[in-house]
Every structure is written in C-alpha cells, then in structure tokens.
Amino acid sequence: MCSILGIFRQQTGDNLQPLRPLALELSRRQRHRGPDWSGVYVDEAAILVHERLAIVDPAGGAQPMRSADGDLVLAVNGEIYNHRELKASLRQAYDFQTESDCEVISALFREDADIGGWLNRVNGIFAFALWDRGAQRVLIARDPIGVVPLYWGHDGAGRLCVASEMKALADLCDNVAQFPPGHFYDSADGQLVAYYQRPWREHAATVDVRVDPAELREAFEAAVHRQLMCDVPYGVLLSGGLDSSLVAACAARFARKRIEEDDQAEAWWPRLHSFAIGLEGSPDLAAAEVAAEALGTVHHGFTYTQEEGMDAIPEVIRHIETFDVTTIRASTPMFLLARRIKAMGVKMVLSGEGSDEIFGGYLYFHKAPNAREFHEELVRKIDALHNYDCLRANKSMMAWGVEPRVPFLDVAFMEVAMKMDASAKMVGMRADGTVRIEKAVLREAFEGYLPDSILWRQKEQFSDGVGYGWIDGLKDDAEATVSDAQLAEAAARFPINTPVTKEGYWYRELFEQQFPGDACARTVPGGKSIACSTETALAWDASFSNAADPSGRAMRGVHQAANA
C-alpha cells in the first residue's frame, strides 16, 4: 500500500509542468505511507506522484506505471488480490511492464468500456488515478467499502486534485472532501458513478436465505488465503477477541506455503508472528496470550503507559485526520503498536475490522426489535466503515509504513455473509434455555478452531480492551484541559459538528490546529460519536439513546451484566 497524488487540468492551454515542485512537496506529506520509493509523471495536462510501500514485486512494480505505448499512466494505493485471475480472463493481449498486482487495472480499462462492470470484478482494496494521455481523460476510483482512503477537490485555478490523505490537499483545495467508496469518476462525462450495488443491501433479498456454517467458514478461509499475497515479512494483529483470533487461526493454516505460487513452494517467512498492545494488565494482552499459545504464533505483546498514549494524541490526530472520539481512542494504541511492528521489519498485517458490522457484534444489536431493522443497521454500519474502523486501521498503521489488510471485508466473503437472513445473526434464547450471544453464527462456524474462552469471548471495543484505565485517563486529561466555559461556548467556536463533551472539544481543537477550515471539518461525520449510526438504532435502547460516551461500557444491561 502506498500514497497517490494527482493534479489534472480542466482548461485547454493550462500547462501543469511548472507545478512539479509543488506536487512533489504535497506528496511528501504522505511519504510515511510509502517510504520505499517515490515516482512522478508529468505532462502538460497531468501530474501523478506515487510514494511506494513495496509489498508485492518489491524489485519491480514502481509507480506511476506506464503502458508499453506510454499512453496510460496509473498510480494506485492498494492491493488487487485476484490479479492473476483477472489477467487470465483478458480477451485481448496486454503487454504488462511489471509483475505488480495493480497493473491489471490498466489492462481492464483498455479492454472494457464498461468501467463499473470491470471494477465489480476486482477483489481488492484500492484507490487509483488512471490518466489516458491520448484521450486526455482521467479515471478515479475507490474500493467498495473504502478500506483505502482517498480525497479530492479543486485548486484555485479549477484543477482537479486527488490524494490519499487530506493533509496533501488541505492547503491547496478549499473544497477538499472524501472521495466516496464504491464510486468512480470519469472525466470523459464528468460523472461520479456508484458502481458497487449489491442485492443484499435490501432486506427483502435476504429473507429466508440460509448459509451453511461450512460455506461461511470456507468463504472466510478463502478470503484470508487471498490476502496473504505478499513478498515481504507479514504478521497478524491479535487482540484475543473473536475477530482477530479467527483471522490469525486461518492465517496460521496457510502461513507455511507461498500464496503467489499456488501453495506449491515454501513460504519465504513461514513463522506467523502476532502482535498485541495494551496497558499493563489489560484484558486484550491476557486474551491474546491464550490465543497465540493455542495457534502457535510467534507472539509479541507490547505495553504502553497512559502518559505515552497522551503524548501521542496530537500526532495521532494529524495522521488519522478526524476528531471522532471513538476513533481517536482506538487509533492511539494502534498507532503505537504500528511503530513497534515497523521496528521489527514487518510491512503487512492482517486485521479483524468489519466483522462487527457484518454480523451485528456491537452490543446495542442485542436490542434490535426484528430481523429487518437488524439487517438495515448492518448496511448502515458497513456504509460508515470508511469513516471509522477502516480509517483507523489504515491511517494508524500506515503512519509507520505498515499495511493493514481486512479479510472480513473481502468482497467475495461479504457476498456470502451478507446474503443470509439476519435472523440467523440475532441474539436470543436457544431451545435449551441458554442465550445465543452476538455473532453466534460466526462462532459456530469455527467450532474447534480456538479455545472456548476466546471463541465465546464477549465483545470489547478495542479502546476498552487495551485497558479500561485508558479511556478514564483520556477523560481526566480532557477535564483538566478544557474549561466549563469553553465547552459552553463550543457551538460558537465550532459551529460545524459541535463537540458535546470536553474530550470531544479537546480533540476538535487539536484537529483545527492542523486542519483549519470548514471543508476539512466537514470530512468528519457529524452528530454524536456513538456506536449506533442512526436514531432508529438508538431507539432500540432508551438508556443508550442520549449517551455522549461511545465506550462499549455505556451499554447498560448488556456489557456490565455480561462482565459482572
């Protein structure tokens, strides 16, 4: 994974070549994402700059990639997991210039005019800009869920600009905004098109659809297997919760063989390493040790202090580009962990994001009144992932040049997991009188893969699991930093997405120092920072409907009772 930056002229006669130094300086602000090499392409109408983190084909695969005739220029941030299948399916010959998994995008563009059609065939995480010099045309696209970040806007001269992170565009574009997931923009017609549309988004398409546990398990194993495509040392994030432990369990089954050679050769790095972090005595560190022992991973559990976490907050906000309370709480230990992982020479990790959104793992789902509302909330949560967990995982890790991959959000796995009737995912009473807890359908599919203490461990938010003292310390620090008078005047100081707590005010102030202006503030979702995404979902539990604290511990009657 890497970073991209593009500037494209909108008026004939505008020569972009003098902007090369500016483009290089803007791209340098993202170089933490791609510390291995820099590449630049410039002509009169387009500039593309790429900062590379070499994961696949590290000896080759430099970007921007050019077609053999020089007409197509491609800059990609991401991984295309099914690139070999896509290459094999090409109907016309394409003269590939590298072994990169991403170059197949140029081949698909040249062969097929149906952009949405071929984008839906791609299984990967990506944000790219493709310049067709002959046609003076640019194509910009982002992966279906928004695992990879992308921003765009226009500079003062009206030029179209894109970048992997907002910090590269904040001083250049007054209208900087997120490029939406699952969309493409084609300058040929000037339209922004939603290409990722799935039947399972509508509850009616899932009614009475059953998925066998074996089908669910095999689909997830296949997703993990695909995402082990890697030519550099890698590992897994292992908090000891269900999701990360399942990722690690599946990865451990494939780690000894090289995926890019169809499992016929020994892996270059056959020992699977796992990583966890927390305050001294945290629940996650203890659970991760149990899971690692059962799976046989080479485990590395790191601790951090409350002071180290507090000291990192301003830098964390600069990297993750949000003032959302939950995201900052969870990003900080992840940011610190990424630095440790980088120091060990690991460049890619698998992580467990997305499972809670697909299976209803958040504790407020216990209150869902029926399958339809349960399913509709899943879809809303998936649609919001790019603002929260995907943003956190990607930017916290990429701050240190470590690429996170998320098998639960593999598009082929999601087709299986989201097509099932939501009633199979809901909590409730079994015939024998025992309680069927959240994500039971996933746990049951993986019986025997993990110790029961891990397989049936109840949900902890990451910011809780690293140690309950972490959140309490943040609140105390915010109380000492922000006065009652400041909070009372928050609406006047921050009229856009006004913070409602002192902790939120503190983060917003730090964000404003680094990303001033209304446009930057609007890239962060509005409303309270809470686990649920809509008032409909909040109505499931009146005690949670007005909660300003997004910690999982705020779920009265669910989390406290389960952990009493």
Residue percentage of the chain with pLDDT more than 70: 91
Question: pLDDT for 57-91, tens place per residue?
Answer: 787 778 999 999 999 999 999 999 999 999 999 99
Domain finish residue from 143, 175, 197? 197
Of 316, 470, 278, which Cα lies nearest the Cα of 395? Answer: 316
Domain finish residue from 197, 214, 239? 197
Is residue 282 within 8 A of residue 250, CB to CB? The reply is no
Give the least confident one: 6-15, 33-42, 185-194, 451-460.
451-460
- Tell me: do 235 and 155 sit in the same domain: no
| C-alpha distances out from residue 439 to 151, 205, 560, Å | 34, 21, 18
Residue 186 is predicted with a pLDDT of: 98
Q: How confident is the model at residue 255 (pLDDT cuts 50, 70, 90)?
A: confident
100 labeled part of a ligand binding site: no
- Tell me: do 133 and 279 sit in the same domain: no
The CATH number that applies at residue 125 is: 3.60.20.10
The parent domain of residue 454 ranges over 201-562
- Tell me: do 191 and 249 sit in the same domain: no
**Does the pLDDT value for residue 548 go beyond 60?**
no
- Tell me: do 144 and 209 sit in the same domain: no
- Tell me: do 243 and 353 sit in the same domain: yes
- Tell me: do 67 and 131 sit in the same domain: yes
- Tell me: do 181 and 295 sit in the same domain: no
Mean pLDDT of 521-528: 80
Q: How confident is the model at residue 538 (pLDDT cuts 50, 70, 90)?
A: low
Give the least confident one: 346-355, 433-442, 536-545.
536-545
Residue 558 is predicted with a pLDDT of: 53
Dihedral (Cα; 531, 534, 535, 540), 10-degree rounding:
-60
Question: pLDDT for 112-146, tens place per residue?
Answer: 999 999 999 999 999 999 999 999 999 999 999 99
Domain finish residue from 197, 231, 247? 197
Mean pLDDT of 477-502: 97
Position with higher pLDDT, 258 vs 222: 222
Mean pLDDT of 156-166: 97
**Does the pLDDT value for residue 55 go beyond 90?**
no
Q: How confident is the model at residue 363 (pLDDT cuts 50, 70, 90)?
A: confident
Give the least confident one: 9-13, 245-249, 273-277, 465-469.
465-469
Q: What DSSP state is assigned to residue 178?
A: E
- Tell me: do 164 and 245 sit in the same domain: no
- How high is the mean pLDDT of the chain? 91
**Does the pLDDT value for residue 556 go beyond 50?**
no
Domain count, the chain: 2
Which amino acid appears at position 466 of this protein?
V
Residue 263 is predicted with a pLDDT of: 83
Query: Which strands form 151-154's sheet, in the order they lie side by side?
Result: 37-42, 46-52, 3-8, 160-163, 151-154, 177-178
Residue 501 is predicted with a pLDDT of: 97
Residue 29 is predicted with a pLDDT of: 98
- Tell me: do 237 and 191 sit in the same domain: no
The CATH number that applies at residue 428 is: 3.40.50.620
Is residue 330 within 8 A of residue 397, CB to CB? The reply is no
Active-site positions read 2
Residue 192 phi/psi, 5-degree rounding, is -95, 120
The CA distance from 162 to 173, in Å, is: 10
Residue 208 phi/psi, 5-degree rounding, is 65, 15
- Tell me: do 388 and 438 sit in the same domain: yes
**Does the pLDDT value for residue 432 go beyond 90?**
no
**Does the pLDDT value for residue 267 go beyond 90?**
no
Residue 373 is predicted with a pLDDT of: 95
Residue 529 is predicted with a pLDDT of: 39
**Does the pLDDT value for residue 325 go beyond 70?**
yes
Q: Given 3-state DSSP classes, what are the helix, strand and coil percentages for the chain, each rounded to the nearest 5?
A: 45, 15, 40
- Tell me: do 158 and 223 sit in the same domain: no
124 labeled part of a ligand binding site: no
Is residue 165 within 8 A of residue 148, CB to CB? The reply is no
The CA distance from 505 to 482, in Å, is: 7
**Does the pLDDT value for residue 528 go beyond 70?**
no
**Does the pLDDT value for residue 460 go beyond 90?**
no
Residue 49 token pair: 């700059």
Q: Mutual orientation of helices 325-343 and 306-320 as an angle, nearest 10°?
A: 100
Residue corresponding to tokens 């699952």: 182
Give the pTM. Answer: 0.93
Mean pLDDT of 469-489: 96
237 labeled part of a ligand binding site: yes
Mean pLDDT of 339-347: 96
Position with higher pLDDT, 180 vs 55: 180
Q: How confident is the model at residue 462 (pLDDT cuts 50, 70, 90)?
A: low
- Tell me: do 413 and 437 sit in the same domain: yes
| DSSP states along 277-330 | EESTT-HHHHHHHHHHHHHT-EEEEEE--HHHHHHHHHHHHHHH----HHHHHH
Mean pLDDT of 149-157: 97
